[in-house]
Chains A and B, each alone.
Chain A
Amino acid sequence: MVEPARRDNRRKRKLTIAKAISEAIAQEMERDSGVFVMGEDIAKLGGVFGNTQGLLDKFGPERVRDTPISETGFISMAVGAAALGLRPLVELMFVDFFGVCMDAIYNLAAKQAYFSGGHVKCPMVLMTSVGGGYSDAGQHSQCLYGTFAHLPGMKVVVPSNAYDAKGLMAAAIRDDNPVIFMMHKNLQGMGWLGTVAGATVDVPEDAYEVPLGKAAITRPGKDITVVGLGATVHQALDAAETLAKDGIEAEVIDLRSLAPLDREAVLKSVRKTGRLLVVDDDYKSFGVSGEIIATVAEAGIALKSPPQRLAYPDIPIPFARPMEQFALPNAGKVATLIRQMCQE
């Protein structure tokens, strides 16, 4: 079952991304006894970011396992369990913690299929929180999209809303490859941190998949293509709404997935609009924004103005509010850039 139209819901209900992810995991655990969850604070607490709410009660401590604070240990164990055909789902609480366990991710999980000639699969999902903007400083606020998407052998998805989050999670769990599932804290919908309104949307109760590797046109437009992912999709949409009053029609693309990357969707849009802006709250250099612009450059599309990117500067993320907000992209900055580009 793939993407039932959002209007077809028998009963409309808005869910946060956290609730949508919990529901997707529960449905997959019901469907497939090989799905189990491991991570820090994912059982009794239901996940620091609420991704595993209710799972312990429903499925018990064998399949919903609180782990010690040993990311290398439990993530590399997931690789071994996946080799035998189970479908482990592990949570790396903050993506910033990848430094203590990256070997298990990029040397074990990402290379198991390749180094075995495809004979040993690695059907696991690693979900992890990304993003800042709430003064948590530079070890709890990074996105690191480019870091993960750069390394071959893993799929990387970044939902911007609860509908996509549920469907992408189902697709990720059913996928036979390792999937890095990055949920943005500003969109997640926890009681202790504000949430961008547009992330909490209607979500069907039945299970469904949103295919990995397919971008979404979140808003059609003819004047400029604005590419975002996760939180920056909402910034782009806000900016587009403002600019529409002045007659500038921005087309907003939500990448949803970095690996595989839907290059065709970007190219098709830019061929139509002739302008490209990428908005990314990950570091600017060697990242998503550069990759998208390179994709368009390689295709040789004639542009009406030079492609631009609005990304996080190449600095660690500071704590103090004025400094962090200065560095982050936001809707105002997006709107300003679009205006400039459309006047060129």
Chain B
Amino acid sequence: MVLSRGYEERLAAAYMEGKTPLFNMANGPLPGEMHLSNGQEPCAVGVCAHLRAEDTVTATHRPHHVAIAKGVDLRAMTAEIFGKQAGLSGGRGGHMHIFDPRVNFACSGIIAQGMGPAAGAALARKLRGEPGVAVAFIGEGAANQGAFHEVMNIAALWKLPFLCIIEDNGYGVSVMKKDSTAVARNDVRAAAYGVPGVYVPGNDPYAIYAAAGEAIERARAGDGPTLIEIETWRLAGHFMGDVEGYRPAGEKDALFARDPIPAMRQRMIAEKTATADDVAALEAEAKATLDAVFDYARSAAEPRPEEALEKVFV
């Protein structure tokens, strides 16, 4: 969580380079859209702590926390986000298209799009008789997309080793969940497919870990998919540059007061899982990792322009 948050903070700073005084998304070392995951770290770590390299994860347009928790090569991922030749795809994908087949991670830019590829990976493992589950991370807005329902039905019908994790951050860009979704909680939609539905309130990494553990165990045992909705919150805007005028006054301050990282730090120390020194050492280690990773990505070579013509077919 600390590594992930530090990662996003450094990306945010780098993103703003060349974008002041006049904000233009096309400028600076990190052009294009940028969707940060600040605040949503518990969803990623609570689920991915149970996963192994052979397990597939697909994430969304807001993918960094999940990628980091899944163990994606951080240097190559950062180089990709900076559009460098040494990036995971040589700069062809950028921050919404991160593929690391070494740990079976992929993400994509369209809502609910990762549902099918994850369920397809689960089907592949099942057909081959190999171990491995697949997890699709989606947002709460994606539960209103056709792909979500089609894939939930097929995954349930075929009893695939599959999990759908809904990160409910309350907003589809600017539209509140209550204004887009006919039910208050998406876990109830699991009933439509005859699979367990679980709701985890409070953006609590411990509770997420417990719920995901049970679901993943069920998937590994061949008992089919689970739908989990996690209440989380987005401490950044939808994208960098979003002034979030759609939020009620005071909402953002209240969310910052419930930042899951200080809460977890306190809990670890209170429960004596770790000392304050342990936590400080962990934070220092994260900082050192980030220093190295960002130095590497910034100094890495740009792709040759003509490389754009390669890898369309393999």
Interface residues of A (CB under 8 A from B): 34, 36, 62-63, 65, 67-68, 70, 72-86, 88, 100, 103-104, 107-108, 111-121, 152-153, 155, 176-177
Q: Which residues of the other chain, B, contact A84 by a CB distance below 8 angstroms?
A: 56, 104, 121, 124-125
Q: Are A81's CB and B123's CB within 8 A?
A: yes
Q: Which residues of the other chain, B, contact A104 by a CB distance below 8 angstroms?
A: 116, 147
Q: What CA separation (Å) do A76 and B108 show in the bound complex?
A: 12
Q: Give the B interface residue count (CB, 8 A).
A: 43
B153 interface contact, C-beta 8 A:
yes
7 A-B pairs, CB-CB below 8 angstroms?
A77-B116, A77-B120, A80-B56, A80-B119, A81-B127, A116-B89, A117-B92
Q: What CA separation (Å) do A209 and B125 show in the bound complex?
A: 29
Q: What CA separation (Å) do A111 and B89 show in the bound complex?
A: 12
CB distance from B223 to the nearest CB of A (A): 18
Q: Are A75's CB and B116's CB within 8 A?
A: yes
Q: Are B151's CB and A76's CB within 8 A?
A: yes
CB distance from A199 to the nearest CB of B (A): 29
Q: Contacts A68-B153, A70-B154, A117-B99 known; A77 to B311 CB distance under 8 Å?
A: no
Q: What CA separation (Å) do A65 and B15 show in the bound complex?
A: 47
Q: What CA separation (Å) do A108 and B56 show in the bound complex?
A: 16
Q: Are A113's CB and B153's CB within 8 A?
A: no
Q: Which of B101, B113, B150 contacts A83 (CB 8 A)?
A: B101
Q: Which residues of the other chain, B, contact A70 by a CB distance below 8 angstroms?
A: 150-151, 153-154
Q: Which positions 67-99 of chain B face chain A at CB distance < 8 Å? A: 87-90, 92-93, 97, 99
Q: Which of A85, A104, A117, A118 has the most CB of B within 10 A?
A: A117
B314 interface contact, C-beta 8 A:
yes
Tell me how many residue pairs across A and B have CB atoms closer than 8 Å: 148
Q: Which residues of the other chain, A, contact B99 by a CB distance below 8 angstroms?
A: 112, 115-117, 119-120
Closest A-B pairs by Cβ, 7 of them:
A76-B116, A80-B120, A73-B150, A117-B89, A80-B117, A77-B120, A116-B99
Q: Are A83's CB and B120's CB within 8 A?
A: yes
Q: Are A116's CB and B93's CB within 8 A?
A: yes
Q: Which residues of the other chain, B, contact A78 by a CB distance below 8 angstroms?
A: 120
CB distance from B135 to the nearest CB of A (A): 12
CB distance from B146 to the nearest CB of A (A): 6
Q: Are A118's CB and B154's CB within 8 A?
A: no
Q: Which residues of the other chain, A, contact B151 by a CB distance below 8 angstroms?
A: 70, 72-73, 76-77
Q: Which residues of the other chain, A, contact B97 by a CB distance below 8 angstroms?
A: 111, 115-116
Q: Which residues of the other chain, B, contact A72 by a CB distance below 8 angstroms?
A: 116, 146-147, 150-151
B176 interface contact, C-beta 8 A:
no
Q: Are A68's CB and B119's CB within 8 A?
A: no
Q: Which residues of the other chain, A, contact B310 by a CB distance below 8 angstroms?
A: 118
Q: Contacts A107-B113, A152-B312 known; A73 to B56 CB distance under 8 Å?
A: no
